[in-house]
Structure 1
Amino acid sequence: MSWSLDTVDLRPLAIGAAVLGSGGAGDPTLFELLAREVLATHGPVTVYEHADLPDEGILISTGLVGSVTAFSEKPSNGYECTHAFTRLRDALAPSPPVYVCGYETAGVNAFLPLIVAAQTQTPLVDVDCMGRGLSWLDQTTYDAVGIPIAPFTLTDSLGHTILAEAITGHEAERYIRTLTVTMGGWSAFAGYPVDATAAGTAGVHGALARAMRLGRSLDAEPSRHLGSGRVSEVTWQPGVEAAHGSIVVWLGPPDDRPLRIETRNEFLMVLDRGQIVATAPDIICLLDQRTRTPLLTETVTTGYQVDVLVYPAPSRWNEPAFSPLASPAAFGYSWAET
């Protein structure tokens, strides 16, 4: 079954994508504006489900890598992801039909695949390999089962494009991180070329539709409400790969106790009186009570009044083959069972 995505859908998509970011994946505001301009020029995009695809179809995943802050300081020309996608497509020279999809349907990366689809008139498929915000490009359901990220391309705002081959796993993540710094702090990515059969087995299905549902109503699916209160403390410590922090939310009456949220790029764990009550891959959301918008990890400051909500993880992350890549242990957290 297919459905249409037009300019009126972009605001709900931005809200839902922020929820699925779990505090990470960047503020989608600039990308919502870019998508609005692209769709106004090229018209609405038709979104296809995996069941619509022939088995021999080839899916290429695309999105932004690097720093969204750097993106705001070094603006896009609007075509980087399209250039990365077309360069990889041309290098593969596939004979079957080609489709575009995201690697991470969360935050800013919910918008890049639909921009590519509109600019290239390539069918957009609601399949990705994260289904929520995660930190690294080797932290995917595809990588978990050995689907290679390469060949992949990186393109910067000046049109410089790098094609990488025969690089896998964490080595690919290390190369991408280093190259992206050289390219100005962010770049457009296209990679994980995979046939539709493998995408059906290993991909996360329906995250784009899920973002739309949550963006239209945060109550569109059940969530756990862990409490409401005021952010009373925020601390950050430097780390080898990323800073890590703790956020304390002091719950109001009648609870009158602290919740502690452990965070890196995303909210990863919630503790209530020393007991773990929520962990990734479930989606932890701090919702600003005033604006009813999900907060990013880096924007949370003392004084915010928030609701702490937990949405279920994409079901794929609960399968044994995939769950270790998205658990707190994957981010270096460990604890003893009591």
Structure 2
Amino acid sequence: MTGYGAVSAVRLTTDDILHLKTGSIFNSCTADPDWCAEETQRVLAHMEAYDTGPELCDVGDLDDDALVVSVGFVNNGIPMSDLRPVGDEFVAALRVLEESLGRPVQGIFPLAAGSANALIPLLVGMQTDLPIVDADPMGRIFPLVNQTVFTLAGLPVGPVAAAGATGESAVVNVSDPLRAERILRALAGEYGGWAATATYPMAASTLARTGVLGSITRLIRMGQILDSPLETEQKHDALRRAVGVKQILRARVGDGAWLARPATPGEIERPASVVLVEESQGRLVQLEVKNEMLMMMVDGAVRAVVPDIITMMRPLDGGVATLDDLWTGNVVDIVVMPAATPWYTPEGLRLGGPTALNLFGAGGAGRRTT
């Protein structure tokens, strides 16, 4: 069990939702923050229309045998398409999964602790009157559905359900997570570029034993710090204390190169290498980027690499920065945080480390120094 200090059942407020959005972008340094903003607006509009808010609960608030399910977007390897959600896709996926299992879902949790997927359960929870469990299977963002701590624990992924904006839905009786990953990507392509998925159905006691607990609370805490009026250096200190930030390096973007190497299935076909110059000592900093930032090297030595969480802040106001801020001449604060503990085991590194993401093979890397 890996925890971040989860809290018992609470009704999330508008401020909580806005902080969660900020934390979700920060924890993933997402390549597509617009989808986070859109999903946040859907949540806030529903809250205003129905005068309610999503309920966040600790997994211990549920009965041990309560059925809980992860919900999240899966795309077909390209940026989220212009085919926007109608709004009922996740409800449809949950309903067909319940029909297949012959029992009701009693709690939902995000497929990942970052980007739009961290926000998805909020609206779905209000639409279905289900609590959102303060947990997830990644503790960060990974590109593939099978890159979860549940896979590390040997748990089945299915049956899985998927629905699209076209009104179509499917249930697939599959247990192997890698096989499910491939099937869901194919369905996403057939649905127009993305699918609303319900995966990893399990008992609450299993989630308590194997999941990354308190991850939503952690994102909200990040957002509270980043959205606050604190000075940038004060935010740095607060992030070190609150979420274990390991290092922060300020650097100016020098050059970026979009490379032609192939991407891992499920990833955006636009990996990049960005070179920056550290502001204080003039050291050369290189970032390897795919869907998110995967590696940071300083003067040729690896200082952080996936599963480490590498993200960015704006030096001027300490706000969250995204990949869009990597333009020539801009100054950014590169921030490194640890991932959940299971990702640093030999099994975790094989599933979610640099080799699994074809990182070192794509261009090599220097010696890691941290």
Q: TM-score, normalised by structure 2?
A: 0.84
The offset of 1:271, in angstroms, is 0.6
**Conservation of the 8 A alpha-carbon contact between 2:247 and 2:337:** no
Counterpart of 1:235 (choices 245, 250, 257) is 257
| Corresponding position: 1:36 with 2:44 | yes
2:95 is aligned to 86
| Residue among 314, 317, 322 paired with 1:288 | 314
Stretch moving more, 298-307 or 179-188: 298-307
Alignment of 1:154-193 (within 5 A): 154-193=162-201
Query: Residues 321, 336 of structure 1: CA spacing in aligned structure 2 closer, same or farther, 3 A cutoff?
Result: same
Listed one character per residue, the Cα deviations across residues 229-279 of structure 1 (whole Å, up to 9, x for unaligned) are 211111122314344221112112x31121111121121111111111111
**Structure 1 residues 208-227: aligned runs within 5 Å:** 208-218=216-226, 219-220=238-239, 221=242, 222-227=244-249
Cα distance change of structure 1 residues 68 and 21 upon mapping to structure 2, 3 Å threshold: farther
Counterpart-to-counterpart distance in 2, 1:198 and 1:323:
22
Give 1:147 shift.
1.3
Identity %: 26
Change (3 A) 1:332 1:236: same
Moved more, 30-39 or 287-296: 287-296
Mapping 1:54-133, distance limit 5 Å: 54-66=63-75, 71=80, 73-94=82-103, 98-133=106-141
Q: Contact 2:257–2:272 (CA<8 Å) still a contact in 1?
A: yes
Question: Structure 2: where are the runs of 5+ without partners?
Answer: 1-7, 227-237
Structure 2 Cα separation of the partners of residues 30 and 296 of structure 1: 16
Change (3 A) 1:7 1:336: closer
Q: Matched residues in 2 for 1:320 and 1:70: separation? A: 31
Do the aligned partners of 1:268 and 1:280 also contact (CA within 8 Å) in 2? Answer: yes
Corresponding letter in the other structure for 1:144: L
Check 1:68–1:32 CA distance in 2 against 1; reply closer, same or farther (3 A cut).
farther
- 1:72–1:281: structure 2 CA closer, same or farther, 3 Å change rule? same
> 2: CA distance between counterparts of 1:82 and 1:290?
41
Quote how far apart the aligned CAs of 1:125 are. Answer: 0.6
Gaps of 5+ in 1: none
SS in 2 for 1:331: coil
The question of whether the paired residues in 2 share the 8 Å contact of 1:60 and 1:193 is answered with: yes
1:245 is matched with which residue: 252, 272, 290? 272
Aligned counterpart, 2:330: 304
**C-alpha distance in 2 between matches for 1:173 and 1:67:** 10
Cα deviation, 1:97-130, whole Å, max 9, x if unaligned, reads 6211111121101111111110000121111101
- Matching residue's letter, 1:117: G
The alpha-carbon distance between structure 1 residues 36 and 67, as it changes in their structure 2 partners (threshold 3 A), is farther
Q: Give the TM-score taking structure 1 as reference length.
A: 0.91
Partner residue of 1:276? 302
Q: C-alpha offsets along residues 307-332 of structure 1, whole Å, 9 cap, x if unaligned?
A: 01112212342345434322112111
1:269-307 C-alpha deviation (Å, 9 max, x unpaired): 111111111112121112233464434446633232200
Distance (whole Å) between structure 2 residues aligned to residue 230 and residue 206 of structure 1: 34
- How far the C-alpha of 1:207 sits from its partner, in A, is 0.7
Give the SS at the match of 1:270: strand
- Distance (whole Å) between structure 2 residues aligned to residue 131 and residue 144 of structure 1: 13
Task: Give CA deviations for 1:171-197 in whole Å, capped at 9, x if unaligned.
Answer: 221221122112111111111101122
Query: Over residues 73-92 of structure 1, what are the superposed CA-to-partner deviations in whole Å (9 max), with x where a residue is unaligned?
Result: 11211121122122212221
Indicate conservation of the 8 Å contact 2:81/2:192, yes or no.
Answer: no
TM-aligned CA deviation for residue 139 of structure 1: 0.7
CA distance 1:275–1:71, change in 2 (3 Å): closer
| Selected match of 2:16 from 9, 12, 16 | 9
8 Å CA contact 2:160–2:172 kept in 1: the answer is yes
Cα deviations across residues 191-223 of structure 1 (Å, max 9, x unaligned)?
110112221222111110000000000434242
Instruction: Select which of 347, 353, 365 maps to 1:327.
Output: 353
Secondary structure in 1 aligned to 2:70?
strand
Distance 2:310 2:192 in 1: 31
**Once the 2 structures are TM-superposed, how far is the Cα of residue 69 of structure 1 from its aligned partner?**
7.7
